[in-house]
Amino acid sequence: MFCVFHSLVPHTVFGDEGSIAEKVFEKHKATLQRTEIQSVLNIFKVSEVPTGLTSEDIRENLNRIGADPEALKTLVEDAGVQALFNDAEFQALLQDPDALEELIGLVNAGWLELLVRKIPISGFGYLLLFIIIAVTLYTLGKGADWLVDEAVALSTRWGLGKAVIGATIVSVGTTTPEAAVSVLSALQGKPGLALGNAVGSIICDTGLILGLASLIAPLPLNRQLASRLSNVQVGAGILMVAACFPWSSPAKVFSAGGVLPQFVGIVFVVLLGLYIWQSIRWAGSMPSDTEDTEDTHAEEGNTFGILAKLIGAIAIIVVSAQILIPAVSVMAERIGVPKHIISATLVAFGTSLPELVTAITAVRRGHGELAVGNIIGADILNVLFVAGVSAAATQGGLQADGQFFQFLFPAMLFILIVFRCGIFVSGDQLKRPFGVVLVATWLLVTILSYVLSIEMH
């Protein structure tokens, strides 16, 4: 949903007041839509936005600057942003390739997410921000309560294990918004962002969220079902890496990277349907983990009503998360938290917040197997659904640059294998010591990514 602030973008700072790019962005973000940025790039003789908008690509294109003042004037008049043309800071911005590059990085970093929804959070006062944070925290909690209740009711009504409901229906619901954002990113010329969302979410979901959930309370397991689902989880990760690997030129894997082709994305979508079907088959062949005390709620409404409430609960969680994270980010920035800390924690964390709230609520209410199923399912769907649909919708596929093979893919596979080994040795519960291992693994990966200046989402 939100990608990390572009860690490779240089910061051109002018005194204590911040950079030209930051000033212009804050003052004019209501008008600096992507179309205007693209048009400015066109005037600078850049035919198209470079794939992924990396610093190297942008700098290479900006070397061909040849701005036409009259064309620029026509652009801003046609776009209805005449104020930008008259603004001295914007004029200075156009004369500084580094500052222009930083502005593009700001736009690419996802800070316009709420602007698209017409919620100008950055302009709110402290009191209003506090109210927004309090209300969204409350709605997150209530939405998670309703989601767990309806998921358990559906599990009882259909006679399926809670882990399967979590790994299929709940996971589809919590990853659908992320899939939509990733598809739009790919269609808008940012395929690396779509793939980065999938990989970063897997790392965060498996290490941080499942680790925290098992620290709250031991998570019960149907070991046979969990092992099967975990095998699919690890297999999906390996399949994505293998599909992206440049088999025709393996020597260039760490420099040029590879591509997740469009046809492979279509295959992933087909495999998604097979995964859901097979999960239901596996659950049907095993004893249900539903309890008699849950039958009353399940009988209160029909299946359609339960599904409608479940979808509504997921919508509440997702919308609340997309409002909460920017509000907390703005509040943190105002009280002096460095931007790189905000981007490395809150912004990156926003993608996985629905899974976190669902997992904690499920554990708190004694349905730990639902939390385990949701995380395993979310990981699988991040490959087959998020990356798959994004690749299938993009003619050129999803670009995986060298950083994916240098760090992100190995980190993802490492944390998945750690989790798989944990299931193998844990018996019928994921206990607190294993939660410590998962959280420590996530912390190690996150610290290394920051040290190496690699984006986690």
Confidence of residue 435 (pLDDT cuts 50, 70, 90): very high
Does residue 362 have a pLDDT over 70? yes
Encoding tokens for residue 400? 């995986």
Beta carbons of 45 and 65 less than 8 angstroms apart: yes
Pick 388 or 294 by higher pLDDT: 388
3-state secondary structure of 429: strand
* Per-residue pLDDT tens digits for 102-131: 544 444 443 333 333 335 566 677 788 888
Can you give the pLDDT at residue 70? 47
pLDDT at 159: 75
Q: What is the pLDDT of residue 59?
A: 41
pLDDT score recorded for residue 240: 96
Predicted local confidence at residue 60, as pLDDT: 42
Band (pLDDT 50/70/90 cuts) for residue 198 is confident
Greatest mean pLDDT range, 26-30, 93-97, 146-150, 441-445: 441-445
d(C-alpha 154, C-alpha 297), whole Å: 10
Phi, psi of 249 (to 5 degrees): -145, 65
Query: What mean pLDDT is predicted for residues 401-413?
Result: 90
pLDDT, position 299? 52
- Is the confidence at residue 188, as pLDDT, over 90? no
Instruction: Give the pLDDT of residue 99.
Output: 56
Furthest CA-CA distance within the chain: 75
* Radius of gyration for the chain, computed over Cα atoms and rounded to the nearest angstrom: 23
pLDDT of residue 292: 44
Determine the pLDDT at residue 111.
Answer: 34
The average pLDDT across 332-350 equals 63
Give the Cα separation of 396 and 51 in Å (integer). Answer: 11
pTM: 0.66
Domains of the chain: 15-116 (no CATH), 128-451 (1.20.1420.30)
Strongest mean pLDDT among 24-33, 126-135, 176-185, 237-246: 237-246
pLDDT grade for 17, boundaries at 50, 70 and 90: very low
Share of residues in the chain with pLDDT > 70 (%): 63
CB 56 within 8 A of CB 152: no
The model's confidence at residue 207, banded by pLDDT at 50, 70 and 90, is very high
Strands 398-400 and 258-260: antiparallel
The predicted structure's pLDDT at residue 368: 85
**pLDDT value at residue 168:** 83
Confidence check: pLDDT of 337 > 50? yes
Checking if the pLDDT of 202 tops 70, the result is yes
Residues comprising the chain, all counted: 457
Nearest-angstrom CA–CA distance, 336 and 333:
5
pLDDT band at 144 (very low <50, low <70, confident <90, very high): confident
Q: What pLDDT is attached to residue 25?
A: 52
Calculate the average pLDDT of the chain. 72
pLDDT at 279: 85
Span 249-253, mean pLDDT? 88
What is the pLDDT, as a whole number, of residue 132?
84
Pull the structure tokens for residue 396: 């050129």
pLDDT attached to residue 61 = 40
Query: pLDDT grade, residue 357 (50/70/90)?
Result: confident
Give residue 326's pLDDT: 74
Q: How far is CA 121 from the centre of its chain?
A: 20
Q: Give every CB contact of residue 301 below 8 A, 6+ residues apart in sequence.
A: 153, 309
Model confidence over 148-178: pLDDT tens digits? Answer: 888 888 877 877 777 888 888 888 887 877 7
**Least confident range of 81-90, 228-237, 322-331:** 81-90
Q: Quick one: pLDDT band at residue 379, thresholds 50, 70, 90?
A: very high
Q: What is the pLDDT of residues 54-111, one digit of tens each?
A: 444 444 443 333 344 444 444 434 433 334 444 555 555 556 555 555 544 444 443 3
